[in-house]
Amino acid sequence: MKQKQTITLLTFTIALPVIIVAATGILTTAGPGNFEYETIRGSTVVIYGKGLYKHMSADVAIQGIAQDVVSLFIAIPLLLYSLFKYRKGSLRGHFLLTGVTGYFFVTYLFYTAMGMYNEMFLIYITILGLSFFLLFNLFDQLMPKCQKNNFDRQTPVKFAGSFMIFNSIAVGLMWLGVIIPPLMDGTVYPAETEHYTTLIVQGFDLGLLLPISFVTGVLLIKRKPLGYTAGVPYLIFLSILMTALTAKIIAMGLNGVNIIPAVFIIPAINVITILCSYLMVKHITEKTPEF
């Protein structure tokens, strides 16, 4: 019972600040609007110039607002729903809550590291810290309880695991395609660095998130307990993240940015990720863990 109270408290203390920062990102519009800025590397970047993301580059600011919409209207309801199911003793709810928490942890890790400093910085690091400790507690409870017999024999582990491996390799190659050519031709700095200090997204993906996806996919195919414990939450996290990425692509398209071929590729991957998550959760046998 004490563990449930801790999880409940952490969940609500994450939900409130996320609502505040996401709504602020969506609704604030004060400022002069787009203007050009010369970076320390001598390139010119168009700065968004308004709202919470006024110091971000225009294309990244648009993406941030799109992700705020997904966080506010999809991720927060999922967080609260999964908490409700978790408190009922549902193993599916536990997995779902873990995956959604992972989404908030990764999202606000990126916001803290990449977002230009703004009024919400202290709230970003609050969400980051709270979501880390919530994720730690959820995994701590889940790991000793979750075994492959919590999933029926029809669980599509090979399909889901193979997709995780494929996705990690495909995204990894895409990011290397951004990084390596400038190193080869001597320009060193990819255009995607814009006015930021480094390639935050590519760095965290290549160094952390993609290797986790690859290894977890292998463990899932082998039906290892850790494959189930980490794989299902990862797929749920990835489903929400890919939904946010789809929203970003749409937002960029509405603002006149060329989104071909991403507009076809990203939603397709998003659908597959959601399908994998659904099938994995569907095949969980509701053996209530003792908390």
pLDDT tens profile 62-109: 999 999 999 999 999 999 999 999 999 999 999 999 999 999 999 999
Rg (CA), the chain: 20
In angstroms, rounded to a whole number, what is the distance separating the alpha carbons of residues 202 and 177?
Answer: 11
Under the banding of pLDDT at 50, 70 and 90, the label for residue 148 is low
**288 pLDDT higher than 60:** no
Rounded average pLDDT over 227-234 = 96
Amino acid at 50: K
Amino acid at 16: L
Burial pattern 19-34, b for ≥16 Cβ within 10 A else e, equals eebbebbbebeebeee
In angstroms, rounded to a whole number, what is the distance separating the alpha carbons of residues 71 and 104?
Answer: 8
In angstroms, rounded to a whole number, what is the distance separating the alpha carbons of residues 183 and 164?
Answer: 29
Q: Is the dihedral of CA 280, 282, 285, 288 positive or negative?
A: positive
CB 170 within 8 A of CB 245: no
CB 67 within 8 A of CB 56: no
In angstroms, rounded to a whole number, what is the distance separating the alpha carbons of residues 217 and 96?
Answer: 18
Among candidates 290, 233, 225, which has minimal Cα distance to 3? 290
Hey, where are the domains in the chain?
A: 2-282
Which one has a higher pLDDT value, 147 or 126?
A: 126
pLDDT tens-digit readout, 236-273: 999 999 999 999 999 999 988 888 888 888 999 999 99
In angstroms, rounded to a whole number, what is the distance separating the alpha carbons of residues 141 and 138?
Answer: 5
In angstroms, rounded to a whole number, what is the distance separating the alpha carbons of residues 214 and 169?
Answer: 8
Among candidates 74, 81, 89, 58, which has minimal Cα distance to 19? 74
Among candidates 115, 85, 113, which has minimal Cα distance to 236? 85
Among candidates 274, 234, 290, 231, which has minimal Cα distance to 91? 290
In angstroms, rounded to a whole number, what is the distance separating the alpha carbons of residues 17 and 78?
Answer: 16
Under the banding of pLDDT at 50, 70 and 90, the label for residue 289 is very low
pLDDT tens-digit readout, 38-66: 999 999 999 999 999 999 999 999 999 99
pTM as predicted: 0.95
